[in-house]
Structure 1
Amino acid sequence: MIDQIDVTKVLFLDIETVSGQPTFADLDETFQDLWGYKAPSVLKRYGEELSPEELAQSYQDRAAIYAEFGKIICISVGAVIRDTDKRLKIRLKSFANRDEKTLLQDFNAMLDQYYGDVFTQYICGHNIKEFDVPYLCRRIIVNQLKLPRMLDITGKKPWETKQLLDTMELWKFGDYKSYTSLKLLAGVFGFPTPKDDIDGSQVGNVFWKEDDLDRIARYCEKDVLATAQLFFRYQRKPLLEEDQVIVVER
């Protein structure tokens, strides 16, 4: 099936998330209590009462991956095009903003305008079905925005969401025992790893302490490019060269 997909109909996507507040101490009392209920299960220490220090550290380390306690600060996308001589190129663009609602509004508008056909177009990412798409949908609803058609998957069965392509799922071939990272698959298939600057565990510090949103966007774009390269490998196509990558200014 994957060989039959026109790559110019695929939007490659990755998101970056951080905790909703810089530190646990910055949370209001309600959310401190709520994280207090959540943290033992996050740390797999069910039924235990955590110390204030453990609560603070666990919030810093893990809150960003939960849509109820985190927020999206960057969505990077890649669209493959054919130029006049039919050579494939990829255009990378990031929606990065400290204001999550503004970021989501801009992203949703792009998605509805250019990727509104769930029957002929696709969104592709690595572990997108377990993380990026659910997180996006939850934060869109939290911000009281309308779900774009491509992401309006509430209550749908897996076979009703064929517009979502997950490069990690495509690698499973029925094996559901483990997670295979994009970094590992980059090594296996012989293209540059996207983790040559920062990794996901460092995004919070870069955002809250260094205030370097551009660095995060560049990192996110590398993940998108790596996902596209992996998809090309799955289709047994040549990898994209440096001159085939176009970064749209933010």
Structure 2
Amino acid sequence: MNTKINFEHILFLDIETVPEVENFNYLSEEKQELFALKTQYQRKEEFTAEEFYDRAGIWAEFGKIVCISVGFFTHFNSDERKFRVTSFYGDEVKILEDFKELLTKHFYKPQHVLCAHNGKEFDFPYIARRMIIQQISLPEKLNLFGKKPWEIPHLDTMELWKFGDYKHYTSLKLLTAILGISSPKDDISGSEVGAVYYKEKNIKRIVTYCEKDTIAIAQLLLRFNNEPLIEELNIVHV
């Protein structure tokens, strides 16, 4: 596989999301009804809407972003190669505004590309939807209106692994395992983020988890292109 992209032009990212409020009963009556309708197919008759609410974070209409981690390469083709990682976390509006500022000031040129695992189905549209909900104008890299498929500046490591097999889903955990990359899932999993956020109130643990995912996504793209993996000493947290 050869993406023919300069690695220094790629912004790797991952997001962590949780239900917008801790408890289903904290929602308005209207929002409860809307959630029940939205999840009716997935729940069938196995769960009530209230029992299903711990999964609400996967929908931008009922969840919120608590962390966006990003990473990028510097000096890629030299002995000084570094992978720099940073995170935006806390209040969602501040997260989105800071992320937008990064895109508009540093990753705004035509050659710049965003990369995530399952990003086209989840991370990119989720961020865009939450921006609209929070009344934040979309940066160019997330505004896809009127763009042809080949003009969309997004890479998706899961899509690349499909090789045209659109029925195929492969998790980040599975791909890292089979490709000999350190697992980012050595502490918590995505399904546990809500509890860590609301019960433990441990945002730092979520940030660490999100940053590990971001690094793993970069490692995947390196492996796809037969490039050497990032060594731990070359990862810089900023």
TM range, smaller chain: over 0.9
Query: Residue 24 of structure 2 contacts residue 32 of structure 2 at CA under 8 Å; is this kept in 1?
Result: yes
What SS class does the counterpart of residue 4 from structure 1 fall into? coil
**1:195 alignment partner, one of 156, 167, 185:** 185
Question: 1:37 maps to which residue?
Answer: 37
CA distance in 2, matches of 1:85, 1:196: 31
Deviations 1:169-188 (A, max 9, x none): 11111111221111111111
Query: Residue 36 of structure 2 contacts residue 49 of structure 2 at CA under 8 Å; is this kept in 1?
Result: yes
1:9 positional shift: 0.7
Query: Residue 176 of structure 2 contacts residue 183 of structure 2 at CA under 8 Å; is this kept in 1?
Result: yes
Q: CA RMSD in A?
A: 1.7
Question: 2:49 maps to which residue?
Answer: 55
Deviations 1:106-159 (A, max 9, x none): 110111100001x21111010000000010000000000110111111343322
1:67 positional shift: 0.4
Identity of aligned residues (%): 48
Q: Which runs of 5+ in 2 are unaligned?
A: none
CA distance in 2, matches of 1:70, 1:3: 33
Question: 2:89 maps to which residue?
Answer: 96
CA distance in 2, matches of 1:170, 1:84: 23
Question: 1:113 maps to which residue?
Answer: 105
Question: 2:205 maps to which residue?
Answer: 215
Question: 1:22 maps to which residue?
Answer: 22
1:35 positional shift: 1.2
Kindly indicate whether residue 108 of structure 2 is the aligned counterpart of residue 126 of structure 1.
no
Q: Within 5 Å, which residues of 2 pair with 1:53-202?
A: 54-60=48-54, 62-82=55-75, 86-97=79-90, 99-117=91-109, 119-161=110-152, 163-202=153-192
What SS class does the counterpart of residue 201 from structure 1 fall into? helix
Aligned residue pairs total: 238
Query: Residue 7 of structure 2 contacts residue 76 of structure 2 at CA under 8 Å; is this kept in 1?
Result: no
1:244 positional shift: 0.6
Q: Which amino acid aligns with 1:134?
A: P
What SS class does the counterpart of residue 128 from structure 1 fall into? coil
Q: Which amino acid aligns with 1:39?
A: T
CA distance in 2, matches of 1:237, 1:96: 31
Q: Which amino acid aligns with 1:205?
A: A
CA distance in 2, matches of 1:189, 1:93: 25
What SS class does the counterpart of residue 67 from structure 1 fall into? coil
Q: Which amino acid aligns with 2:222?
A: F
CA distance in 1, matches of 2:165, 2:68: 29
1:160 positional shift: 2.2
Deviations 1:39-71 (A, max 9, x none): 21232x2xx6x8xx72211011x2100000000
TM-score by length of 1: 0.91
> Post-superposition, which runs of at least 4 consecutive aligned residues in structure 1 deviate over 3 A?
83-86
CA distance in 2, matches of 1:124, 1:20: 25
Residues 228, 40 of structure 1: CA spacing in aligned structure 2 closer, same or farther, 3 A cutoff? same
